[in-house]
Amino acid sequence: MVSPSEPGVAPTVLVIASGNTGKIRELSHLLASLPLEVRPQPEGMEVEETGTSFAANARLKAEAVARATGHWALADDSGLEVAALGGAPGVHSARYADSDPARIARLVRELGEADRARCAQGRPPDRRAAFVAALAVADPSGAIRLEVEGRCDGEILEAPRGSGGFGYDPVFFVPETGLTYAQMDKGLKGRLGHRGQAFARLEPGLRELLGATGATPTSP
């Protein structure tokens, strides 16, 4: 039998290239129906995100973790783009401050300042925002085999709502649902969320890789 850690063999072991527990939990949930043994990246491993786009950073992380582990790797790079802030925090979403509450506080403060400036110019407030996710899958050699992006449009609230999720979820409001990300259950967020939409685009290609090489389930 050929080892699943060799290039060209189905990813029966898939390492999630992230140290973010929220992302690992969300991606593991999305991957649950596939015949994969899902693992987190090695403890203490960090990949410098030097890319200027979500897609570039996802590629960097997938390549590095695949080479380091000798397994297939799935990387996510995602963040929040706020129209009135010129697309910020963007690729710097995770580094906007040193904790989730601090990141939310900075976002609400800076958007409030932008709103006041717009009002002084006789323009209405602009709370439009979008969560964007880029996913990349690398084979054990570090070669990128799949790349997709997903997007969810919404608005930024002035105060958090809900106790679920992570990151900016409590202030990201999706008008069509009447809920913030933090108020959604896993199923709804999985269907409408940026990461869920990206995964919906990724899944057919991932299933094709599995089917083309005869993957079979592996016990964790």
Residue spans of the domains in the chain: they are 13-212
Section 77-87 average pLDDT: 96
Q: Quick one: pLDDT band at residue 213, thresholds 50, 70, 90?
A: very low
Domain 13-212 in CATH 1.10.10.10? The answer is: no
51 annotated to bind ligand: no
Dump pLDDT digits (tens) for 33-61: 888 889 999 988 988 888 999 999 999 99
**Is 48 annotated in some ligand binding site?**
yes
What's the predicted TM-score (pTM) here? Answer: 0.83
pLDDT of residue 159: 95
Catalytic residue among 76, 77, 115, 139: 77
Return the minimum-mean-pLDDT range out of 53-57, 145-149, 162-166: 162-166
CA distances from 187 to 155, 164, 183, 192, 196 (A): 21, 13, 12, 9, 9
Q: Is 177 annotated as a binding residue?
A: no
The residue whose two tokens read 């390549």 is 63
Does 70 belong to an annotated binding site?
Answer: no
Does residue 77 have an active-site annotation?
yes
